Amino acid sequence: MSESKRLDNANVLIYSHDSFGLGHLRRCREIAHSLVEHYKGLRVLILSGSPIIGSFDFRARVDFVRIPSVVKLRNGDYTSLNTHIDLQQTLSIRASIINHTARVFDPDLFLVDKEPLGLRGEVRETLDMFRERSTRVVLGLRDIMDDAEALRREWSRRDIAAVLDRYYDEVWVYGHRLMGNPLVDTGLSESQLDRLRFTGYIMRHVPRVSLPDWQVPDHPYLLVTTGGGGDGRELIDWVLRAYESGAKMRYPALVVLGPFMPIGERHDFIRRIGRLDNVDVRTFSPIMELLMERAEAVVAMGGYNTFCEILSFDKRALLVPRSTPRREQLIRAERAAALGLLGFLDGDGPRKTSDMVDALNALPDQNLPSARGIDRMLHGLDDINLRVRELIGGGSAMKSTRVLGSH
């Protein structure tokens, strides 16, 4: 069968555990949309645990199967979103749905987001099945995972190096080498590390949809976003204290709290914002790209997707990252600031109101990311599209050789 026909009839299955926040879902959705736009006959199915996946629009030939949701707690443990079902039962149901969907959909490519065995090993059975088929299997990782020592301990305990050798054809890093290698010091051999593929960051675009006029301010504003919002309380409080202080602020703010912010915190912030005439609030927006594009500058925590949006829309930005339970955001903010791409304010310090006032008012004078040549970092979707064609077009003859080693 010719390569074009294989692509015209190809199926791509994407797994995203989506335990907390919006990052995994939004990254997978962007990849799926790019693939179906690039290959007119290709179909993508997303397996997702996000409880709000139905709030997003999907292009033709992209669909999703929602598996029961779990929530990642602040201490790093997990619990079922549905408190009437214990975690082990939830994981068993998820694993069954994943495996059955994979058998029926019979993908040419299985793309696993971040977790090599899925949440608590829930895709292992599916990975074993694909070893007997011609399905190509790829692990996709964000640019930064965690502190190197913490990740090394975690991967060593779970013997992830052997998992990669056994199951995966390739490992893609959705980032650029300038920001470092996320798998350095994780126990992988030099030859294994040399076989990682850095795709570049995933460029974002404003979707071709309309919003009610009230959703997008008609005046200049700073966009303050915490992503999903479940761990954004400290950032929002610090920003609001700056506006509540009476200091003269150069721009008003638009605060997007996020759909996973606890209800009590959300109500408290809405009450505080209601007393300010230079701050507006949204609970959630399914097209943050539009709010980002129209903002004068961005204040955020520094998750992967927000970072991609800052680069894609060439926005001045201030990152105030969290450092627990993972140091991912802190490391990303420090490295991006060192490259001159954005500003950085350490949220682990005393969080003085005056420091936030100064940082917000300094934002309009900051250099744009484009001044540092970010265009060379944003080729992720192009590289992914090309590699999907090469993997699927390569046929089953390539299946016997895993990029990360032999069986």
The per-residue pLDDT for range 257-300, each reduced to its tens digit, is 998 899 999 999 999 999 999 999 999 887 788 999 999 999 99
Q: Is 406 a domain residue?
A: no
HEC readout, 272-330: HHHCCCCEEEECCCCCHHHHHHHCCEEEECCCHHHHHHHHHCCCEEEECCCCCCCCHHH
pLDDT in tens, 80-97: 655 567 888 889 999 999
Shared domain check, 367 and 265: yes
Q: Is 404 a domain residue?
A: no
**CA angle, residues 374, 219, 295, in degrees to nearest 5:** 20
Residue 7: strand, helix, or coil:
helix
pLDDT value of residue 406? 35
Q: Is 208 a domain residue?
A: no
Q: Which amino acid is at 180?
A: G
pLDDT value of residue 34? 96
Number of separate domains in the chain: 2
Residue 191: strand, helix, or coil:
helix
Q: Nearest CA to 72 among 182, 256, 231? A: 231
Task: Quote the CA–CA distance of 222 and 279 in Å, as a whole number.
Answer: 9
Helix (H) or strand (E) holding 352: none
Residue 135: strand, helix, or coil:
coil
User: Which residues, including other chains, have CB under 8 Å from residue 187's CB and lie 6 or more apart?
Assistant: 152, 155, 156, 160, 161
Residue 125 exposure: Cα atoms within 13 Å on the Cβ side: 14
Shared domain check, 371 and 249: yes
pTM for this entry:
0.88
Please report, rounded to a whole number, the percentage of residues in the chain having pLDDT higher than 90. Answer: 69
Q: Is 367 a domain residue?
A: yes
Instruction: Count, in order, helices (H) and strands (E) of the chain.
Output: 14, 15
Shared domain check, 91 and 233: no
Q: Is 328 a domain residue?
A: yes
Task: Quote the CA–CA distance of 229 and 235 in Å, as a whole number.
Answer: 10
pLDDT value of residue 324? 83
* Domain interval for residue 326: 213-375
Residue 193: strand, helix, or coil:
helix
CATH of the domain at 160: 3.40.50.2000
Shared domain check, 386 and 296: no
Structure tokens at 330: 């802190």
Q: Is 101 a domain residue?
A: yes
Shared domain check, 141 and 125: yes
Q: Which amino acid is at 402?
A: R
Contact 168, 403 (CB under 8 A): yes
Shared domain check, 131 and 106: yes
Shared domain check, 129 and 181: yes
pLDDT value of residue 345? 96
Q: Nearest CA to 40 among 4, 65, 2, 3? A: 4
Would you call 190 exposed, middle or buried from its count of C-beta atoms within 10 A (0-12, 13-18, 19+)? exposed
Shared domain check, 324 and 310: yes
Shared domain check, 152 and 222: no
Q: Is 407 a domain residue?
A: no
Q: Nearest CA to 24 among 140, 117, 135? A: 140
Q: Which residues of the chain have pLDDT under 70?
A: 1-6, 19-21, 71-84, 209-214, 394-407
Task: Quote the CA–CA distance of 362 and 76 in Å, as a whole number.
Answer: 35
Shared domain check, 237 and 145: no
Q: Which residue in the block uniquely carries the two structure tokens 């709010």?
A: 291
Shared domain check, 346 and 309: yes
User: Which residues, including other chains, have CB under 8 Å from residue 386's CB and lie 6 or more apart?
Assistant: none
pLDDT value of residue 172? 97
Q: Is 163 a domain residue?
A: yes
Shared domain check, 181 and 59: yes
Q: Which amino acid is at 86?
A: D
